[in-house]
């Protein structure tokens, strides 16, 4: 099996001409570094970031939540409020499990978002050539990691939402997953999904996509789907992707460019009235990157997120695949 090194983000150092890293090694329920830092592994998912204690203080409820029967989980949020951490987690999981795994869910998603919301993206990935190493930044509940694993010796998925990554790990391990599908408000029904074959060559990490604990230039394929407008600094995300990309490797990214001031400052938004054209220009010219890129595929694709039985969000996303030159 092709090895992927996970490195310590706490002691990683940058100079003008190099990056010095230490590789983490398994030590019981932790990934440990020679510098003395340890990163916990919970349900098969390591939590690896520069300041894991701050993350755990903020997200401890998500990290320690149990796999309750769906009807019990739904009862726990029935009294509100809607923005409570567990209620937000159930909503998030309902939306993204339906979107990414709706074609394998029973019963199938209903309402305006019925169907398989990520179909257009998955169809695009099905045409990719085989590579040795791939990484997805913002893997959520894991469907794209599973698709990439079919055409990769080893694939890594990273996401900051532990609840989503934990369920991705179970699905990619071949388990059948029960989850809550939102009907309306805080009312849920039980749905089940099975990923099918086990994605044996996959590593999932709970971490920061803007500071991934990975060796630079290790991946022939670097993927970030619908993430550019979900991070505080989209240009930094492009630079991170470029830094991970091996020589002659490819970047695959997409976005609906639904910029929000709750996510990023106005000056971080890219491209004015035509972000797609600006992103393509950045890649072709190598602006702020280590290299120029040749665009090999570009398209406008549909992407649907089912919110509940009566509402859905439908986007037109800009999809681009570009080769490092």
The span from the CA of 242 to the CA of 222, in Å, is 8
Q: Please, which contacts does 285-290 make with residues 24 or more away whose CB atoms are closer than 8 Å?
A: 288/235, 288/238, 288/239, 289/238, 289/239, 289/242, 290/242, 290/243
Q: What is the pTM of this model?
A: 0.97
Residue 1 has a pLDDT of: 42
pLDDT digits (tens, 9 = 90+) for 84-126: 999 999 999 999 999 999 999 999 999 999 989 999 999 999 9
Residue 21 has a pLDDT of: 94
Residue 2 has a pLDDT of: 62
Of 254, 252, 250, 253, the closest CA to residue 323 belongs to 250
Q: Structure tokens of 251?
A: 């970047």
The span from the CA of 276 to the CA of 305, in Å, is 21
Residue 18 has a pLDDT of: 84
Residue 123 has a pLDDT of: 97
The span from the CA of 34 to the CA of 262, in Å, is 38
Domains and CATH numbers, the chain: 13-324 (3.40.50.150)
Q: What's the Cα-to-Cα distance from 145 to each of 141, 204, 248, 313, rounded to whole Å?
A: 9, 9, 21, 23
Grouped pLDDT means (10 residues each) for the chain, 325 residues? 85 86 96 97 97 95 91 91 94 97 96 94 96 98 96 97 97 95 94 83 96 97 98 98 98 98 97 97 98 98 97 98 98
Residue 103 has a pLDDT of: 95
Q: Structure tokens of 108?
A: 């199938």
Place of tokens 């490819």: 250
The span from the CA of 204 to the CA of 45, in Å, is 6
The span from the CA of 75 to the CA of 13, in Å, is 47
């Amino acid at each position: 099996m092709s090895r992927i090194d996970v490195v310590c983000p706490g002691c990683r150092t940058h100079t003008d001409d190099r990056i010095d890293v230490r590789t983490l090694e398994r030590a019981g329920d932790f990934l440990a570094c020679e510098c003395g830092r340890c990163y916990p592994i919970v349900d098969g998912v390591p939590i690896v970031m520069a300041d894991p204690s701050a993350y755990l203080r903020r997200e401890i409820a998500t990290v320690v939540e149990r796999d309750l029967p769906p009807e019990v989980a739904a009862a726990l949020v029935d009294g509100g409020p809607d923005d409570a951490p567990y209620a937000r987690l159930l909503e998030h999981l309902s939306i993204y499990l339906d979107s990414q795994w709706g074609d394998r869910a029973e019963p199938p998603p209903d309402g305006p978002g019925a169907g398989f919301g990520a179909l257009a993206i998955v169809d695009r990935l099905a045409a990719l050539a085989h590579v040795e190493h791939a990484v997805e930044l913002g893997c959520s509940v894991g469907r794209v990691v599973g698709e990439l694993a079919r055409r990769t010796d080893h694939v890594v998925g990273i996401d900051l939402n532990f609840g989503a990554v934990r369920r991705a790990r179970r699905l990619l391990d071949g388990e059948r997953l029960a989850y809550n599908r939102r009907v309306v408000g805080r009312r849920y029904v039980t749905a089940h999904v099975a990923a099918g074959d086990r994605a044996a060559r996959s590593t999932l990490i709970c971490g920061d996509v803007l500071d991934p604990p990975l060796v630079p230039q290790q991946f022939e394929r670097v993927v970030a789907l619908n993430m550019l407008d979900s991070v505080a600094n989209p240009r930094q995300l492009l630079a991170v992707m470029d830094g991970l990309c091996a020589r002659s490797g490819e970047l695959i990214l997409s976005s609906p460019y639904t910029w929000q001031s709750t996510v990023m400052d106005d000056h971080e938004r890219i491209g004015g009235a035509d972000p797609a054209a600006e992103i393509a220009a950045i890649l072709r010219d190598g602006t702020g990157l280590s290299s120029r890129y040749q665009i090999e595929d570009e398209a406008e694709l549909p992407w649907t997120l089912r919110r509940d039985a009566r509402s859905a969000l439908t986007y037109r996303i800009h999809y681009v695949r570009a080769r490092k030159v």
